[in-house]
Amino acid sequence: MTLTKLQQDILIRYEVSTLCEFLNVFPARYDIFELSNEQSLTDGQHLILEGHIASMMKSSFYAKNKSVTHFQFVSHNVYKVSIFNRHYLKTPSDPLRKVVIIGKYKHPNQIIASNIYYQSLEQLGQIQPIYPIKEKTQLKQIKSIILKALAVCHQYTIDVLPKDIIKEYQLIPQSLAMKEIHQPSTVEQLSQSIHRFKVNEFLEYHLQIQNNRLKVIHKKPNRSLDIDLIKPVIDTLPYDLTDDQVEALSVLFKGANQPVTLSALLQGDVGSGKTIVALLYAYAYIKAGFSVAFMVPTEVLAMQHYLNASALFTKLQTDIHLLTSSTKINERKDMLEQVKSNPSLLIGTHALYSNDVNFYQLGLVIIDEQHRFGVAQRMKLIQKGVDVDVLSMSATPIPRTLAAVLFADMQVITLHHKPKQRGEVKSHIIQGNSFAPVLDDILQSIERNEQVYVITSMIEEEGDARSALSIYANLKKAFDKKFRIGLLHGKMKTEDKQNVLNAFYRNEIQMLVSTSVVEVGVDVPNATRMIIYDAHRFGLSSLHQLRGRIGRSIKSSICYLINPSEDILSMERLNVLVESHDGFKIASEDLRLRGPGDLIGLKQSGLPSFQFANIILDIALLEQTKTTALKLLQSHDTEHHAYVLDVIKRSLKGID
């Protein structure tokens, strides 16, 4: 089927190469249409209203390509409506044409709209899928492409699951599930379709994990790695290792000296000291004549680990290098020659598994935030050596029983306690949209020569969320003569990011305005205050990670959660952070409070990401599918074997 130029552009925006692959662009959520009671609307309440547009729609632009459109809407009452980044909307030619508005009520009689449908409620039907919107793309354009794909892409609707598995799990056909996911007819049919995709996701995940286990864990020569190799580094530490850290190192060294390759997961709460354990372990391999690759998901985290390692090994003659996609060509060439010729520690992002990266006797691969890398990506790095041990790290601890199911290919090692040299971190909710109520405390902490993080959910203005750029500009205007303020976000050049982080670390910047790019790994012991704008927009686990950037010294610290929402669920979620610092509990509560309708997955949680499944609510299904996956791998049935091969083949797709 022929696509228009616009539709081809949309495929590119969604990083999809064919029309049929676009079927895997799934709805982020569903709007189930039920009219709101206009007589009982409260400030901040989600609403659905039917009526007509009673004025011309007027758009204005700000911050380069951002826009806001205003108009008047009449239902039983008259409302002033604002909708962001929809400047293409047209005023209906028929003033009595019915439209449906979805959004948030703002007292008195204002609406911040998220969607407008130029149809009546009856025409819309009961359920509308809402897709993630990329820049310059309209919802109706996405639905038009989906409609085309459903008409011709029959290979995406073929049942690849073996017939006995479909019967065992009482699944609807794949063709019906795919149609209902994109064009739901009833809540019941949608529920059955989601169940079908949950089983698909869990089975494929388990098959990939178990297949990875078979590839990674195999016999190896005796290494005889001596734990005494790390004593010179431990002697330089200004603190004592915790009992958990000592035990973790003991387990890891024992694993390194087993006759099979090590595959371990080191998990622990924020600030429990995972990085120092990993670096000490890496040092032993280097001193034994092996190279170590330390892969992380972001350049900011790579830089932080590089700085930590450089400081730790400064007097111990260890080759340490940093490699990211931003590394200059000449520097890269010289660095890779050294890495190829000598035992060294190479820290970097996904650039580590590039074809031109070769190691001198790669003995250990460390993968931080391991859930952010696909199985095939991890394998490509591991296969750069022979008999390579693998240490994965996760910043969000999960219960051992759940870890045993999710990470069946790894030995799970948990750091339960934080180092004693850590002060108390308190969290307070500030209702509203400003930290003015705690300004005195912020200024006093800076006067005590302490430092402050100010965190936002957006780089630029979008909707009613506060942005890093605008807050940075406002703070500089107010306080630039009193102290220095820095800015950090993901769109900055790598060199600029590093300069800002270095300046903040040296206390040349007293207040750092940043997005969640500082969520994991950034370690500035002198920072004692954190302000998080629009805290309701973050996942609980993400907030817990952000909060972990303070309280990294003996000084007491405070995290202020700025919450403009009056939504009851938002308050309930944020109160979990106020009441608990237990990462196990927070991760579980985060998933519980999101509920089964959250199709966005676990992006903020530090856990493997599923689009449809919820590993807390669906734990029984997770365990059941693990058993089924093992049965499939051991089966000699032709249909089972074909399915397993298909899953493994698709898991490798897209990796160079």
Residue at 164 is within a domain: no
Among 266, 610, 520, 604, CA closest to 407? 266
DSSP one-letter string for 535-559: GGGS-HHHHHHHHTTS--SSS-EEE
In this structure, are 583 and 486 located in the same domain?
yes
Lowest mean pLDDT among 42-46, 177-181, 582-586: 582-586
In this structure, are 496 and 382 located in the same domain?
no
Residue at 601 is within a domain: no
Residue at 613 is within a domain: no
In this structure, are 306 and 202 located in the same domain?
no
Residue at 602 is within a domain: no
At residue 598, the pLDDT reads 35
Domains held by the chain: number: 5
The two three-digit tokens of residue 608, written as one number: 């493997």
The two three-digit tokens of residue 440, written as one number: 């005195």
Q: CA dist 244 to 241, 255, 420, 422, Å?
A: 8, 16, 12, 15
Residue at 608 is within a domain: no
Give the 3-state secondary structure of residue 84: strand
In this structure, are 640 and 577 located in the same domain?
no
Q: How many residues does the chain have?
A: 656
Give the 3-state secondary structure of residue 499: helix
Residue at 130 is within a domain: no
Instruction: Write out pLDDT tens, residues 69-83.
Output: 999 999 999 999 999
* Inter-residue contact 162 to 639 (CB < 8 Å): yes
User: Looking at residues 341-349, what average pLDDT do you find?
Assistant: 95
Q: Of 415, 449, 482, which marks where a domain is finished? A: 415
In this structure, are 441 and 560 located in the same domain?
yes
At residue 404, the pLDDT reads 72
The two three-digit tokens of residue 549, written as one number: 């950037």
In this structure, are 268 and 402 located in the same domain?
yes
Q: Of 385, 415, 445, which marks where a domain is finished? A: 415
Residue at 256 is within a domain: yes
Task: Report the largest interatomic distance among the alpha carbons of the chain, rounded to a whole angstrom.
Answer: 82
Instruction: Write out pLDDT tens, residues 588-613.
Output: 776 666 543 332 223 333 456 688 88
At residue 594, the pLDDT reads 54
Residue at 200 is within a domain: yes
- Which residues, at least 6 apart from 348, have a Cβ–Cβ distance to it below 8 Å? 293, 294, 295, 296, 302, 321, 322, 323, 324
Cα dihedral: 265, 268, 272, 274 (round 10):
20
In this structure, are 244 and 366 located in the same domain?
yes
The two three-digit tokens of residue 576, written as one number: 């979990």
Instruction: Write out pLDDT tens, residues 368-406.
Output: 876 677 767 888 899 999 999 999 988 766 766 677 777
Kind of pairing, strands 66-74 and 58-62? Answer: antiparallel
Task: Give the CA count within 13 Å in the CB-facing half-sphere of 100.
Answer: 20
Give the 3-state secondary structure of residue 429: strand
- Which residues, at least 6 apart from 272, have a Cβ–Cβ distance to it below 8 Å? 242, 244, 415, 416, 417, 418, 419
Kind of pairing, strands 511-514 and 485-488? Answer: parallel
The enclosing domain of 97 has a CATH number of 2.40.50.140
In this structure, are 87 and 207 located in the same domain?
no
* No. of helices (H) and no. of strands (E), the chain: 21, 21
In this structure, are 82 and 185 located in the same domain?
no
Give the 3-state secondary structure of residue 519: coil
State yes or no: pLDDT of 269 exceeds 90.
Answer: no
- Which residues, at least 6 apart from 478, have a Cβ–Cβ distance to it below 8 Å? none
Give the 3-state secondary structure of residue 181: helix
User: Looking at residues 353-377, what average pLDDT do you find?
Assistant: 86
- DSSP state, 400? H
In this structure, are 258 and 234 located in the same domain?
yes
pTM value is 0.63
Q: CA dist 274 to 38, 85, 299, 305, 411, Å?
A: 52, 42, 19, 11, 15
Structural domain harbouring 91: 34-124
The enclosing domain of 277 has a CATH number of 3.40.50.300
In this structure, are 405 and 262 located in the same domain?
yes
In this structure, are 40 and 22 located in the same domain?
no
Q: What's the chain's average pLDDT?
A: 87
Q: CA dist 603 to 194, 606, 645, Å?
A: 19, 7, 28
At residue 402, the pLDDT reads 74
